[in-house]
Amino acid sequence: MAMDPSEVEFLAEKETVKIIPNFSLDKIFLIGGDLGPFNPGLPVDVPVWLALNLKQRQKCRVIPPDWMEVEKLEEMRDLERKEETFTPVPSPYYMELTKLLLNHASDNIPKADEIRTLVKDIWDTRIAKLRLSADSFISQQEAHAKLDNLTLMEINTVRAFLLDSLNCMYKLRSNLQPSSSKGQFIDY
Amino acid sequence: MDTQSYHPVQPGVGMEENYLSLDDILLSHERLPIRTECAFPRLGFLEKSSDTQDIPEGTKMELPLWLSKGLYERKRRVLSVELPKVYKEGWRTVFNADSNVVDLHKMGPYYYGLGSQMLHFESPENPEIAQTLLQTFIGRFRRTMDSSQNAYNEDTSALVERLDCLEKALFRSGQSGLNGFQSWEKGQASQLTASSLVLNYRKRKITDIQT
């Protein structure tokens, strides 16, 4: 069973991002890590979920991650188009972070629209590549594959389809050796 | 997703059927051309073309898959099963030439399932049938994938109508992945909606619930 994209987003919200708070608060001790102390005007690392919450309450300014920049993304897009395999991405949650930060803190990100277009381009290129490789994977009847640089969100969109297809292919293939499948009963 | 807690028994696809799978039960009702190898006394009512009380030896008739499978035995010749046309050599060549042009819904609609079940009858062409089933699936995979991943919020009936039942299930799982992602991207996933169960519940009349 595939995960829901919002569950993938939930995992992405654990990534850290730099913010500049406009309030002061002592160090807070949370399960999973201590945060702060928070001082007005001083950058501090916090998880994305907290950054977005503070941003919505107008208590901070978000500093976009290093890679969320037009030139770097253009370079990445060109490399992605040139390479046959998947190139390393700047963040394992690049799609989710782009969406979250651009939707909630676009006023803190320079050239937000261009970044949105570039990330969408990169995504589309990678998904087209994923489909191409899935097709050759099936047509060569392979049984295993290595997908190093795919992100969770990308895997998740094709997971149900690919696994179901591979299951069918496996069963149709085991028809070729009729003796091995006999005597096996699945109990319900 | 409103189907999350509903887990129907999946079809078996391979040679073994799943006992409680509705798809496999429907599949087992497909008729096969057979020839009786002995007389079936007092079963003449099954054979509408003659008025005899028994079915004589050598009658050609059609029986559902489940019955043919139950009566078929290798040693005692009760009946012999003929291959349906789509699994015979002529059609196999067509499938091998280009599987994408074939309307598997018309041919099937359980092309893969029935084909796998046909292997029970130990025809000498078994290896070729199994090979064709696999090659057909592989050949059509790209089209199933592309159509399920590209059509978003469109009428998909034109894409689906030529697919076999198994491919239709694959198409649906491809669509669910795509739709899940697209609705997340548009921000629909963050809106809370009432469960379809609750909505339907309200539509029922109060008297129905009380009785």
Task: Report the pLDDT value the prediction gives residue B40, as an integer from 0 to 100.
Answer: 85
Q: Is B130 close to A172, i.e. CB distance below 8 A? A: yes
Low-confidence residues of chain B, pLDDT below 50?
A: 1-2
The Cα-based distances of A30 to A27, A37, A46, A50, A138 in angstroms read 10, 13, 11, 12, 46
Please give, rounded to a whole number of angstroms, the shortest distance from the CA of B176 to a CA of chain A: 8
DSSP secondary structure string, B22-33?
A: HHHHHHTT-EEE
Task: Report the pLDDT value the prediction gives residue B149, as an integer from 0 to 100.
Answer: 83
Task: Report the pLDDT value the prediction gives residue A115, as an integer from 0 to 100.
Answer: 94
In degrees, rounded to 5, the angle at the alpha carbon of residue B112 between the alpha carbons of residues B108 and B113 is 90
d(CA A153, CA A150): 8
Task: Report the pLDDT value the prediction gives residue B101, as an integer from 0 to 100.
Answer: 86
pLDDT of residue A119 exceeding 90: yes
3-state class (DSSP) for residue B64: strand
CB pairs under 8 A between A and B: 116
User: Is the CB of residue B28 less than 8 Å from the CB of residue B12?
Assistant: no
pLDDT of residue A1 exceeding 80: no
User: Is the CB of residue A48 less than 8 Å from the CB of residue A14?
Assistant: yes
Q: Is A164 close to B169, i.e. CB distance below 8 A? A: yes
Smallest CA–CA distance from B18 into chain A, residue = A186
Does the complex come out with an ipTM higher than 0.90? no
> Which amino acid, one-letter code, is at A99?
K
Task: Report the pLDDT value the prediction gives residue B7, as an integer from 0 to 100.
Answer: 86
Determine the average pLDDT of the residues in A157-162. 90
Q: What is the pLDDT of residues B3-25, one digit of tens each?
A: 568 888 888 887 888 899 999 99
Q: Please report residues of B whose CB lies closer than 8 A to that of A99.
A: 185
Strands B60-64 and A33-35: unpaired
Q: Please report residues of B whose CB lies closer than 8 A to that of A167.
A: 13
Task: Report the pLDDT value the prediction gives residue A177, as an integer from 0 to 100.
Answer: 78
Please give, rounded to a whole number of angstroms, the shortest distance from the CA of B122 to a CA of chain A: 10
Task: Report the pLDDT value the prediction gives residue A183, as an integer from 0 to 100.
Answer: 46
Task: Report the pLDDT value the prediction gives residue A35, as an integer from 0 to 100.
Answer: 92
**Bigger pLDDT: B191 vs A130:** A130
d(CA A178, CA A157): 34
Q: Given B19, B127, B133, which is nearest A172 (Cβ)? A: B133
Task: Report the pLDDT value the prediction gives residue A51, as an integer from 0 to 100.
Answer: 95
Give φ, ψ of B117 to 5 degrees: -70, -30
The Cα-based distances of A127 to A89, A167, B149, B150, B178 in angstroms read 14, 21, 10, 11, 11
Q: What is the pLDDT of residues A17-31, one digit of tens each?
A: 999 999 999 999 999
Q: Is A4 close to B130, i.e. CB distance below 8 A? A: no
**Bigger pLDDT: A184 vs B55:** B55
Q: What is the pLDDT of residues A29-74, one digit of tens each?
A: 999 899 989 999 999 999 999 999 999 999 999 999 999 999 999 9
pLDDT band at A187; cut points 50, 70, 90: very low
Chain A positions touching chain B (beta carbons under 8 Å): 2, 4-6, 9, 99, 103, 127, 131, 134-135, 138-139, 141, 153, 156-161, 164-165, 167-169, 171-176, 178, 181-182, 184-186, 188
Q: Name the helix (H) or strand (E) containing A44.
A: strand A44-47
pLDDT band at A178; cut points 50, 70, 90: low
Task: Report the pLDDT value the prediction gives residue B17, as an integer from 0 to 100.
Answer: 86
User: Is the CB of residue A100 less than 8 Å from the CB of residue A56?
Assistant: no
User: Is the CB of residue A129 less than 8 Å from the CB of residue A81?
Assistant: no
DSSP secondary structure string, B95-135?
A: HHH-GGGS-HHHH-SSHHHHHHHHGGG--TTHHHHHHHHHH
Mean pLDDT value across chain A: 89
DSSP secondary structure string, A55-111?
A: HHTT-EEEEPPTT-SHHHHHHHHHHHHH-SSPPPPSSTTHHHHHHHHHHHHGGGSTT
Q: Given A131, A165, A184, which is nearest B170 (Cβ)? A: A165
Q: Is B173 close to A169, i.e. CB distance below 8 A? A: no
Q: What is the pLDDT of residues A64-107, one digit of tens each?
A: 999 999 999 999 999 999 998 899 999 999 999 999 999 999 89
User: Is the CB of residue A60 less than 8 Å from the CB of residue A52?
Assistant: no
Task: Report the pLDDT value the prediction gives residue A27, as an integer from 0 to 100.
Answer: 94
Task: Report the pLDDT value the prediction gives residue A16, as an integer from 0 to 100.
Answer: 94
